[in-house]
Amino acid sequence: MENKKTNQLKKYAINNEKKAGLTTNQGLKMSEDEFSLKNGLRGPTLMEDFHFKEKMTHFDHERIPERVVHARGVGAHGIFQLYESLESFTKADFLTDPTKITPVFVRFSTVQGFRGSSDTVRDVRGFATKFYTDEGNFDLVGNNMPVFFIQDAIKFPDFVHAVKPEPHNEIPQGASAHDTFWDFIGQNHESAHMIMWHMSDRAIPRSLRMMEGFGVHTFRLVNAEGEAHFVKFHWKPALGVHSLVWDEAQKIAGKNPDFHRQDLYEAIDKGDFPEWELGIQFIREEDEHTFDFDILDPTKLWPEEEVPVKNVGKMTLNQNVDNFFAETEQVAFHPGHVVPGFDFSNDPLLQGRLFSYTDTQLSRLGGPNFHQIPINQPVCPFHNNQRDGMHQMTIHHGQTSYHRNGLNANQPQPVPVEKGGYEHYQEKVEGNKIRGRSDSFLDFYSQAKLFYNSLAPYEQRHVKNAFSFELGKCKCDMVKYNAVDLINHIDRQLAKEVAENIGTLLPEQNLEVNTTKKSPALSM
């Protein structure tokens, strides 16, 4: 970051070539880097060996905490360009000017496994995109499936505790085939739709380049006149959607745990740049209540035949990272990073996410200044009265660091607040304070069934095999029975076959949901 002080020091900077050679962090050239300083050649190492201490101390602190979820990931740089102006829907600069090229950084991830786990496990994939727009960073922090396991953010810690390896023995790594996972699913029928996607081939992508992405939640786009539309975001891969089969996925996981990471890196390295189209579904504010599901419910998708996806632009990933840690590991996405023309909905899962990301990054990236890490900085200038804190990299100047100060009367205010900045959409909200869930969120099974019905017979067989494999690893019969009970609400025949395969009872009563609608699911 340029400022008076760094400029002042710059004039003394020494030509790097003259200074070549290994130095300490204080710039001291060292002539020996393989032997520590000793008292005699055999020994003991001396306390005064500042070079040894500095080198070792830095090494001792090289690791930072991995992400609490989505720990394993891979990232790449690219560009986004719009097809035609969306000014009737949004005032966001990067969505209204088709000549503008917006740099992006994308990180793909698995959810459950640790940083060193295998790529081809059965799991949801994260698909997070940071748009470095002229008006600030906009993050679209999505997944490769259009719905989610739970409806309310307050359940997320419970859900993740159930998904992660079990706490007493930290088994299993990188898989959802265990009792706590299925216990949670069996007791939370709101997961019904997502678990069908999770047991489908969508959970074992052939390549990260062949995955769709979804913003999942309902967001708002707001135009210059202040009119809003509800929207959902999609990424459609130019290469189409392709999956592995389970047997391939398992073998690859053993033979090359970096399969997806390497595939993406090598494709970009040789100029075979992956592309996605950004798609948007729009619902007018006045149509909010015209569907047979609640558009605020993140376990529901918007049927594409009822709400078509408009493809609005293209993203190309065209550059690998220079350094995995500095970029992929330190990037900090947040669904609350929006620009003018974007706003949120009252989806209770989204509302909770708006708290969680910065909160976790404060400990993962060590304090409140991680926005200064190069990969997280916007391309536009940023300035405000926030000061100090761990790892402060900016030398702020001036006497004042508070809003509405009188001391700088003769100088420009250090931080003017400008008109035309971000303004929240003025939604009218009223109601009693209450913990609970709207009745409009209670149809857990219809879209799950419609998704299952949309699959080809071989895809349905894969789903049955996936349930049988994953539940077959569970030890507790109650857990297995409850999971079959959940399937019994979606498809009786599937429940029967899975129950037989895993050696548990089929509930006596057929509770299969009765839906006559055509499939809303996207084709596989």
The residue written with tokens 């930290």 in the block is 170
Closest CA to 137 of 104, 96, 100: 104
- Residue closer to ligand HEM by CB (options 297, 497) is 297
- Residue closer to ligand HEM by CB (options 153, 267) is 153
114 contributes a contact to ligand HEM by CB under 6 A: no
Q: CA-CA distance, 201 to 100, in Å (whole number)? A: 37
Burial letters for 43-67: b for 16+ Cβ neighbours within 10 Å, e otherwise?
eeeeeeeebbeebeeeeeeeeeeeb
Burial letters for 348-385: b for 16+ Cβ neighbours within 10 Å, e otherwise?
bbbbebeebbeebbbebbeebbbbebebbebeeeeeee
Active-site residue identified among 143, 369, 376, 465: 143
Sign of CA dihedral 289, 295, 296, 300: positive
462 contributes a contact to ligand HEM by CB under 6 A: no
Build a one-symbol-per-residue string for 307-346: x at contacts with ligand HEM by CB under 6 A, - elsewhere: ------------------------xxx-------------
Q: Do residues 364 and 67 make contact, with C-beta atoms less than 8 angstroms apart?
A: yes
Task: Based on the residue annotation, tell me whether 15 is a catalytic residue of this protein.
Answer: no
- Residue closer to ligand HEM by CB (options 315, 498) is 315
414 contributes a contact to ligand HEM by CB under 6 A: no
360 contributes a contact to ligand HEM by CB under 6 A: yes
Q: CA-CA distance, 311 to 481, in Å (whole number)? A: 43
Is there a cis peptide before residue 172, judged by omega within 30 degrees of 0?
Answer: yes
Q: CA-CA distance, 385 to 406, in Å (whole number)? A: 15
67 contributes a contact to ligand HEM by CB under 6 A: yes
469 contributes a contact to ligand HEM by CB under 6 A: no
- Minimum Å distance from CB 368 to ligand HEM? 14
The residue written with tokens 């391309």 in the block is 379
Write the CB contacts of 419 (distance below 8 Å, at least 6 apart in sequence).
none
Q: Considering only residues 118 through 177, tell me which ones interact with ligand HEM, judged by CB under 6 A.
A: 126, 128, 141-143, 148, 153, 156
- Residue closer to ligand HEM by CB (options 324, 469) is 324
Helix H or strand E segment including 102: strand 101-110
- Residue closer to ligand HEM by CB (options 116, 226) is 116
91 contributes a contact to ligand HEM by CB under 6 A: no
The CB-nearest residue to ligand HEM is 126
107 contributes a contact to ligand HEM by CB under 6 A: yes
Alpha helices in 32-164 (DSSP H): 50-60, 156-163
351 contributes a contact to ligand HEM by CB under 6 A: no
Task: Based on the residue annotation, tell me whether 51 is a catalytic residue of this protein.
Answer: no
Total residues in contact with ligand HEM, by rule CB under 6 A: 27
- Minimum Å distance from CB 152 to ligand HEM? 8
Choose the stretch contacting ligand HEM; rule: CB under 6 A; options: 51-59, 64-72, 90-98, 404-412.
64-72
- Residue closer to ligand HEM by CB (options 214, 259) is 214
Burial environment of residue 238 by CB neighbours within 10 A (0 to 12, 13 to 18, 19 or more): middle
Out of 89, 344, 357, 451, point to the residue binding ligand HEM (CB under 6 A).
357
216 contributes a contact to ligand HEM by CB under 6 A: yes
DSSP code string of 140-201: EEEESSSS-S-SSGGGHHHHHHHHSPPTTT---SS---SHHHHHHHHH-GGGHHHHHHHTSG
Out of 103, 172, 336, 352, point to the residue binding ligand HEM (CB under 6 A).
352
- Minimum Å distance from CB 520 to ligand HEM? 18
Out of 192, 196, 296, 349, point to the residue binding ligand HEM (CB under 6 A).
349
Choose the stretch contacting ligand HEM; rule: CB under 6 A; options: 175-183, 242-250, 350-358, 430-438.
350-358
Residues that bind ligand HEM (CB under 6 A): 67-70, 73, 107, 109, 126, 128, 141-143, 148, 153, 156, 216, 331-333, 349, 352-353, 356-357, 360-361, 364
Q: Among all residues, which ones are annotated catalytic?
A: 70, 143
